[in-house]
């Protein structure tokens, strides 16, 4: 599984590309990119929940990957975005859509990097089909490369000032 920074950076990079090349800054404000980056880390809320449960019960608990890494959550946010858009609330529809995208990218990245997640929880056939790669030694380098590539892209296109 990639580091937390990778989850945030990949989501920000993808959303930023949509912002710059498809929708434009006016239709896709920067706060949506930031919100998407946070949503890209949201499925890992099960880690502090495990710690909290362990503190409260005095037992060791590991909820990581049990349910928050399911694709059911991005589908629910996508459904909410559709309903909000249909009701005419485009602002909250965009927020829900960005959260759905960020949340979807997290288990997708985990799977791509060799995760073990139950992508289809709570379905009974929710077994993982993700590959088991041994790239764990390169996670820090991947974070660094992603950050540098994004910064170079922004500077080349004179957009780095958007984030400073």
Phi, psi of 106 (to 5 degrees): -60, -60
Q: What's the pLDDT tens digit per position in 67-120?
A: 888 889 999 999 999 999 999 999 999 999 999 999 999 988 888 887 666 777
Give the per-residue pLDDT at 138: 81
pTM: 0.84
Give the per-residue pLDDT at 122: 76
- The domains of the chain are located at 4-163
Alpha carbons 4 and 69: distance in angstroms, whole number: 14
Give the per-residue pLDDT at 131: 74
For the stretch 72-81, contacts whose Cβ atoms lie closer than 8 Å and that sit 24 or more positions apart, written own/partner, are: 72/120, 72/121, 72/122, 73/43, 73/103, 74/100, 74/101, 74/103, 74/104, 75/100, 77/103
Q: What's the pLDDT tens digit per position in 29-70?
A: 989 999 999 999 999 998 899 999 999 999 888 888 878 888
What radius of gyration do the chain's Cα atoms show?
17
Give the per-residue pLDDT at 87: 96
Tokens, residue 93: 């529809």
Alpha carbons 62 and 76: distance in angstroms, whole number: 24
Q: What's the pLDDT tens digit per position in 118-162?
A: 777 777 665 667 777 777 778 888 888 988 888 887 788 776 666
Give the per-residue pLDDT at 4: 86
Give the per-residue pLDDT at 61: 84
| Angle formed by the axes of helices 90-112 and 30-39, nearest 10° | 40
């Amino acid at each position: 599984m990639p580091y937390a920074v990778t989850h945030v950076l990949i989501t920000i990079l993808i959303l930023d590309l949509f912002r710059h090349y498809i929708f434009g800054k006016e239709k896709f404000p920067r706060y949506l990119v930031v919100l998407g980056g946070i949503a890209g880390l949201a499925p890992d809320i099960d880690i502090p929940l495990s710690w909290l449960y362990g503190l409260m019960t005095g037992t060791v608990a590991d909820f990581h990957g049990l349910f928050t890494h399911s694709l059911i959550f991005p589908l629910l946010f996508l459904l909410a975005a559709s309903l909000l858009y249909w009701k005419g609330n485009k602002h909250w529809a965009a927020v829900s859509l960005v959260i759905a995208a960020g949340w979807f990218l997290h288990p997708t990245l985990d799977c791509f990097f060799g995760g073990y997640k139950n992508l289809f929880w709570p379905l009974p056939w929710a077994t993982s089909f993700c590959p088991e790669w041994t790239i764990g030694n390169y996670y820090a380098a991947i974070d660094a490369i992603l950050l540098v590539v994004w910064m170079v892209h922004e500077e080349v296109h004179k957009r780095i000032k958007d984030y400073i």
